[in-house]
């Protein structure tokens, strides 16, 4: 462990695992961005607690129907560092907070290393930001006691040739580090590719990405299993899984397993299941993931109805509860996750803030 990582780890965590905790929601307000904290009870139901200004501005991609940033992980929690990272797409910055139970303590606001940041990933003090504006790109940072420090030589262009803000379907959807920390993955949506940047021992990316054609059309967002399998939601209405090979190449395991729904864009993992949110259908689909990363659709493709405009999703660390945001109705829909992977609806949270035709963006459950 590096000295920087050790300093970040010393930030600590103060809550106990179990049936209660906190859910943080990224408001993405163009007039002044903030993070809203909700306490979650033993029953999974949310009660609003506090709001924390990020010191930056939210924004909206061109043409986005319900999700202003058209991305997953606009807000990311790093357990090892005890920190939350939030993108401010309207001011090209990232906000850093220390997490203390139900509270956030502001630490820093730093430039994202590019234009229009939409997604951020963190693992043991290593942080990467995905910038969607222009050609798109990734920028690396290290977490230290004072905040984030740019990782020298870590900026890489994606060569996407977008405007800034970009059109929502041509922008990249998510950045994420695979479970063992040896590669960084980026989805490109309408370019129909997955870009993988192998990482060196210091967290630096390869000079050029390994480009893998997506198994299905419009790869949007993904999760990584503890075994390192990358499970990708495809907006064409399917989910695929991949093994990360040496050198960053991705090999399909289950190629584009359809669910019969429209706009499968967001995805969360809870134990041995993944849950994909279908924005066009307003539904949630579930897949079982076996030890080898093979996917099996649960039921007939629909486990829950959350209404048109459903967007981002998060599961609690213990895999007991799933939370689905709806950007059209400005609500959060909680579900108890049953042993067979089915979903039991709980009372929803209403009255989230609205900005123009949109509501919130991004969610983290702890």
SS3 string of 220-280?
Answer: EEEEECCCCCEEEEECCCEEEEEEECHHHCEEEEEEEEECCCCCEEEEEEECCEEEEEECC
Tens of pLDDT along 267-282? 999 999 999 999 999 9
Give backbone dihedrals phi and psi of 364, rounded to 5 degrees, phi first. Answer: -135, 130
Please tell me the predicted confidence (pLDDT) of residue 359.
81
Q: What is the DSSP string of 167-191?
A: BTTTS--EEEE-TTSSEEEEE-GGG
pLDDT in tens, the chain (366 residues): 333 333 333 333 333 333 469 999 999 999 999 999 999 998 999 999 999 999 999 999 999 888 899 999 999 999 999 999 999 999 999 999 999 988 999 999 999 999 999 999 999 899 999 999 999 999 999 999 999 999 999 999 999 999 889 999 999 999 999 878 899 999 999 999 999 999 999 999 999 999 999 999 999 999 999 999 999 999 999 999 999 998 999 999 999 999 999 999 999 999 999 999 999 999 999 999 999 999 999 989 999 999 999 999 999 999 999 999 999 999 999 999 999 999 999 999 999 988 877 788 999 999
Distance CA 252, CA 77 (A): 28
Please tell me the predicted confidence (pLDDT) of residue 2.
33
Distance CA 340, CA 273 (A): 9
Rg (CA), the chain: 18
Using alpha carbons, list the distances in angstroms from residue 262 to 118, 129, 159, 359: 23, 28, 28, 21
What is the dihedral angle through the alpha carbons of 134, 311, 182, 191, rounded to the nearest 10 degrees? -40
Please tell me the predicted confidence (pLDDT) of residue 5.
31
**Bridge partners of residue 224, in order along the sequence:** 230
Q: Which tokens go with 309?
A: 């405009």
Tens of pLDDT along 200-239? 999 999 999 999 999 999 999 999 999 999 999 999 999 9
Please tell me the predicted confidence (pLDDT) of residue 20.
62
Query: Residue 165, preceding bond cis, omega within 30 degrees?
Result: yes
Query: 195, 185 in Cβ contact below 8 A?
Result: yes
Distance CA 276, CA 181 (A): 24
Q: Over the chain, what is the mean pLDDT?
A: 92
Please tell me the predicted confidence (pLDDT) of residue 15.
34
Delimit the domains of the chain by residue range. Answer: 3-365
Query: 283, 302 in Cβ contact below 8 A?
Result: yes
Query: 81, 143 in Cβ contact below 8 A?
Result: yes
**Domain 3-365: which CATH number of 3.40.30.10, 2.130.10.10, 2.40.30.130, 3.20.20.480:** 2.130.10.10
Q: Which residue, 311, 315, 351, 357, is CA-closest to 336? A: 315
Q: Which residue, 164, 208, 215, is CA-closest to 193? A: 215
Please tell me the predicted confidence (pLDDT) of residue 23.
97
Reported as type and span, the H/E element at residue 6 is helix 3-9
Query: 334, 323 in Cβ contact below 8 A?
Result: yes
């Amino acid at each position: 462990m590096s000295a920087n990582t050790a300093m970040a780890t010393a930030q600590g965590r103060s809550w106990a695992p179990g049936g209660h905790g906190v859910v943080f929601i990224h408001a993405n307000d163009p007039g002044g961005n903030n993070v809203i904290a909700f306490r979650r009870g033993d029953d999974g139901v949310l009660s609003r607690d506090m709001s924390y200004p990020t010191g930056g501005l939210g924004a909206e991609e061109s043409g986005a129907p319900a999700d202003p940033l058209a991305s997953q992980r606009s807000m990311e929690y790093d357990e090892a560092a005890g920190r939350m990272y939030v993108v401010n797409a309207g001011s090209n910055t990232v906000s850093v907070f220390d997490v203390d139970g139900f509270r956030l303590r502001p630490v820093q606001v730093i430039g994202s290393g590019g234009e229009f940041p939409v997604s951020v990933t963190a693992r043991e003090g290593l942080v990467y930001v995905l910038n969607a504006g222009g050609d798109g790109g990734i920028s690396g940072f290290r977490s230290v006691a004072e905040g984030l420090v740019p990782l020298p030589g870590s900026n890489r262009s994606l060569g996407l040739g977008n405007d800034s803000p970009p059109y929502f379907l041509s922008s990249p959807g998510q950045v994420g580090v695979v479970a063992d920390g040896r590669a960084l993955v980026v989805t490109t949506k309408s370019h129909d590719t997955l870009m993988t940047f192998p990482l060196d021992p210091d967290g630096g990316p390869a000079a050029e990405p390994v480009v893998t054609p997506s198994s299905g059309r419009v790869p949007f967002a993904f999760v990584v299993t503890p075994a390192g399998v990358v499970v990708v939601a495809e907006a064409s209405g399917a989910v695929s899984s991949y093994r990360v090979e040496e050198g960053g190449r991705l090999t399909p395991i289950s190629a584009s397993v359809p669910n019969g729904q429209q706009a499968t864009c967001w995805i969360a993992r809870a134990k041995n299941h993944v849950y994909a949110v279908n924005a066009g259908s307003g539904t949630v689909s579930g897949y079982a993931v076996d030890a080898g990363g093979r996917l099996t659709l649960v039921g007939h493709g629909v486990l829950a109805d959350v209404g048109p405009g459903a967007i981002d999703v998060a599961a609690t660390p213990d895999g007991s509860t799933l939370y689905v945001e709806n950007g059209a109705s400005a609500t959060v829909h909680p579900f108890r996750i049953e042993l067979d992977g089915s979903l039991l609806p709980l009372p929803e949270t209403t009255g989230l803030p609205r900005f123009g035709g949109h509501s919130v963006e991004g969610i983290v459950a702890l």
